[in-house]
């Protein structure tokens, strides 16, 4: 069975990169190849300009595996010290970071309790602390919010934003598309071990040749009349918050019924604008129509949308 095939991917330093795909798509396999936890049958990879498994490169990487387990005989604090030692952190520096991180992930009160008593959410919080303990240049996270409640998810998201601010490159493997959309600069979609789409979130979610036109001051029936004459132009009956780029924004509902959608290219857009203006319709804004990442993801997986 081939887990990954013909994959060609580059993640620039300092970016937050999301890897998407259904179960069995090869996401975890890719992460394991990057960390030399598994080896490719052919092909090559470089992580931080070194081959996977290079000890010096690993010292600059933080990793949170899916369903991670910590030695059950250790307390949360001991876990962090153990992995800090393995990462080569000196004692004083390690102690300082362990104390800070335990506070940061709100695990101070549980730091002296053995980890086998921790809930799933607590394990994830401790896992995040473990992953960023060495202040990594590259942070690889496999389903970091798996089993975490909404508040915990937000905390982890904040933590990731802090890491991004710090300049870390983040490689995020997640099923939660909304989370990926919020956090990531770029995403790749894998299916059956093959890369189906890759690019900036902004580009991927921009619908091809489709625009949303916000209008004001239209007389009754004018919009419908223009729409009947211009090919691809329709009056959006209820664009709603999801239909607007980046969310509806304040006051969006007051524009209900004054949005037009155009399926067409730029010349078609100009034709539509001319037609509207000739009828005295005031145009408030024009924006390329955006899909949610979930729309893109589903379309790529179910319809096999080409790259």
Partner 1 sequence: MKVAAILLDTGRELLYRKTIIVYFGVVTLVLLFFVLALQTDVANGVIASLTVAGLEGSASQGGFRLGDGAEGPGMGGLTAEMFVRYVQLGMAFFLYPLAILMSVFATASLVPRMLEKGTIDLMLSKPITRPALFLSRYAGGALTAALNLLYLTLGLAVILAWKTGVWNGGFVLSGLVMSFFFACLLAFTVLAGVLLRSTTVSIMITAVLFVASLLVRMPHSNRDWPLLITSRASRFLAQAVVETLYYALPRSYELVQSTVALIRHEGSVEWGAIFGSAASGALALALAVVYFSRKDY
Distance CA 167, CA 161 (A): 10
Residue 109 C-beta: closest distance to partner 1, Å: 22
Interaction pattern, residues 36-65, with partner 1; x per rule: CB under 8 A: xxxx---------------xx-xx-x-x-x
CA distance 58 to 47: 9
Contacts of 86 (CB under 8 A, 6+ apart): none
The two three-digit tokens of residue 184, written as one number: 């990531």
Q: Which stretch binds partner 1 (CB under 8 A): 78-86, 169-177, 229-237, 285-293?
A: 78-86
Indicate the residue among 86 and 225 with the shorter CB distance to partner 1.
86
**SS3 state at 87:** coil
Residues 6+ apart with CB under 8 A from 238: 256, 257
Burial call 195-222: b when 16+ CB within 10 Å, e when fewer? bbbbeebeebbbbeebbbbbbeebeeee
Shortest approach of partner 1 to residue 68 CB, angstroms?
5
Nearer Cβ to partner 1 (44/56): 56
Which residue stretch of 79-87, 220-228, 279-287, 288-296 sits at the interface with partner 1 (rule: CB under 8 A)?
A: 79-87
CB atoms under 10 Å from CB of 254, counted, come to 8
Interacting residues with partner 1 between 80 and 109 (CB under 8 A): 82-83, 85-88
Q: Measured from the CB atom, is 66 or 295 closer to partner 1?
A: 66
Tokens at 119, concatenated: 């809930």
Nearest to 245 by CA among 279, 208, 286: 286
Whole-number Cα distances in Å, 23 to 20, 43, 47, 174: 10, 23, 24, 11
CB of 119 to partner 1, least distance (A): 16
Letters for 2-41 (x = contact with partner 1 by CB under 8 A, - = none) are: ------------------------------x--xxxxx--
- The contact mask relative to partner 1 for 120-159 (x = CB under 8 A, - = no) is ----------x---------x-------------------
Structure tokens of 6? 């013909």
Which is nearer to partner 1, 72 or 242 (by Cβ)?
72
Q: How far is the CB of 80 from partner 1 (least distance, A)?
A: 12
Residues that bind partner 1 (CB under 8 A): 32, 35-39, 55-56, 58-59, 61, 63, 65-74, 82-83, 85-88, 130, 140
């Amino acid at each position: 069975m081939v887990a990954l095939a013909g994959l060609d991917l580059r993640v620039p330093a300092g970016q937050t990169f999301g890897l998407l795909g259904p179960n069995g798509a090869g996401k975890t396999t890719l992460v394991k190849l990057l960390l030399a936890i598994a080896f490719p049958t052919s092909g090559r990879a470089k992580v931080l300009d070194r081959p996977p498994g290079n000890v010096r490169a690993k010292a600059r990487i933080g990793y949170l595996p899916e369903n991670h387990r910590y030695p059950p005989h250790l307390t949360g604090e001991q876990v962090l010290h153990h992995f800090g030692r393995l990462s080569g952190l000196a004692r004083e520096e390690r102690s300082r970071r362990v104390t800070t991180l335990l506070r940061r992930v709100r695990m101070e009160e549980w730091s002296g309790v053995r980890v086998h008593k921790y809930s799933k959410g607590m394990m994830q919080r401790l896992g995040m602390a473990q992953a960023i303990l060495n202040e990594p240049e590259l942070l690889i996270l496999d389903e970091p919010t798996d089993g975490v409640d909404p508040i915990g998810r937000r905390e982890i998201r904040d933590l990731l934003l802090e890491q991004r601010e710090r300049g870390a490159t983040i490689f995020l493997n997640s099923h939660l598309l909304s989370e990926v959309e919020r956090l990531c600069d770029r995403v790749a979609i894998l299916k059956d071990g093959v890369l189906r789409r890759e690019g900036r979130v902004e580009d991927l979610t921009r619908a091809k040749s489709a625009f949303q036109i916000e209008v004001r001051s239209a007389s009754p029936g004018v919009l419908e009349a223009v729409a009947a004459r211009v090919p691809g132009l329709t009056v959006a009956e209820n664009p709603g918050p999801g239909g607007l780029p980046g969310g509806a924004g304040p006051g969006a509902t007051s524009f209900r019924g004054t949005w037009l959608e155009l399926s067409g290219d730029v010349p078609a857009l100009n034709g539509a604008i001319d037609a509207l203006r000739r009828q005295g319709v005031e145009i408030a804004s024009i924006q390329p129509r955006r899909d949610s990442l979930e729309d893109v993801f589903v379309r790529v997986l179910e319809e096999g949308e080409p790259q």
